[in-house]
Amino acid sequence: MEQADINIKPKKMGQIITTAEDLFQRFGFKRITIEEICSKAEVSKMTFYKYFQNKNELIKCIMDNWLGHIVKGLEDVSKMDITFTEKIRILLRLKEETNAKISKEFILEYMNPDNDMRIYFREFYDRAISIFIEFIKTAQFRGEVRKDIKPEFLIAMLNKMIEMAKDEPLVQLYPRAADFSLEINNFFYCGILPLETLDNRNDEKK
């Protein structure tokens, strides 16, 4: 999927991005130095500066990749000819993935007032959210989601559900993790489906 895009890029550039992405996600942007990225990516510093002006440009590049990934993911889901239940399941996974990226560490740095990247972070966050909202609006237009629900509310709901999925004692109630995620999924599905389609729901499930 994203593979194709990466392959067009020079090999070393790809190594830098992949390594940096991993390090940034684990330790946050601030803690990682260019030199650490280079040595882990097995690339010399000179090569780094050949492809990126500085660390911030690399960060922007990576965050743009993230956005692209979300956009593409949602576009693909939109096009897919599957039940909306399935779509929600994929959406959930995508949101969870995004959350992992915009994690504590990210938020922390984003909050820091004396960070040059602050404006860019805010922009990224807003765009990510608005992409999700756009997706939901489309679904509302198609009649897959009740029209009187605020998309922003759904986003908040998604986040809460992802939190729930991390609540160990809760998950333990289910014989296997998959059962729990199905439960969450179904709850979501039943709660947002337009009223007029309530009758066909059971048929659709089969």
Partner DNA sequence: ATATTTTATACGAATAGTGTATGATTTATA
Partner DNA sequence: TATAAATCATACACTATTCGTATAAAATAT
Name the binder of 45 from a copy of itself, DNA, none, CB < 5-8 A by kind. DNA
**Interface ranges with DNA (CB under 7 A):** 10-12, 33-35, 42-47, 49-50, 54-55
Name the binder of 35 from DNA, a copy of itself, none, CB < 5-8 A by kind. DNA
Query: Which amino acid, one-letter code, is at 160?
Result: K
Question: Among 6-14, 49-57, 91-99, 169-177, which window interacts with a copy of itself (CB under 8 A)?
Answer: 169-177
CB-based burial label for 118 (10 Å; 0-12, 13-18, 19+): middle
Pick between residue 113 and residue 175 the one whose CB is nearest to a copy of itself.
Answer: 175
Name the binder of 176 from a copy of itself, DNA, none, CB < 5-8 A by kind. a copy of itself
Name the binder of 99 from a copy of itself, DNA, none, CB < 5-8 A by kind. none
As a whole number of angstroms, the distance between CA 40 and CA 45 comes to: 11
Chain positions 131 to 160 lying near a copy of itself, rule: CB under 8 A, are none
Query: Which amino acid, one-letter code, is at 150?
Result: K
Instruction: Count CB neighbours of 73 within 10 A.
Output: 21
CA distances from 43 to 7, 12, 53, 100, 181 (A): 17, 7, 15, 27, 41
As a whole number of angstroms, the distance between CA 99 and CA 170 comes to: 20
Name the binder of 175 from a copy of itself, DNA, none, CB < 5-8 A by kind. a copy of itself
Least distance CB 22 / a copy of itself (angstroms): 12
CB-based burial label for 38 (10 Å; 0-12, 13-18, 19+): buried
Least distance CB 47 / DNA (angstroms): 4
Least distance CB 164 / DNA (angstroms): 36
Binder of a copy of itself out of 79, 147, 166, 176 (CB under 8 A): 176
Output 38-42 pairs: Cβ under 8 A, ≥24 positions apart: 41/12, 41/15, 41/16, 42/15
Pick between residue 25 and residue 47 the one whose CB is nearest to DNA.
Answer: 47
Mark 24-43 with x for binding to a copy of itself (rule: CB under 8 A) and - for no binding: ---x---x------------
* Residue owning tokens 């330790």: 27
Residues near a copy of itself (CB under 8 A) are 27, 31, 172, 175-176
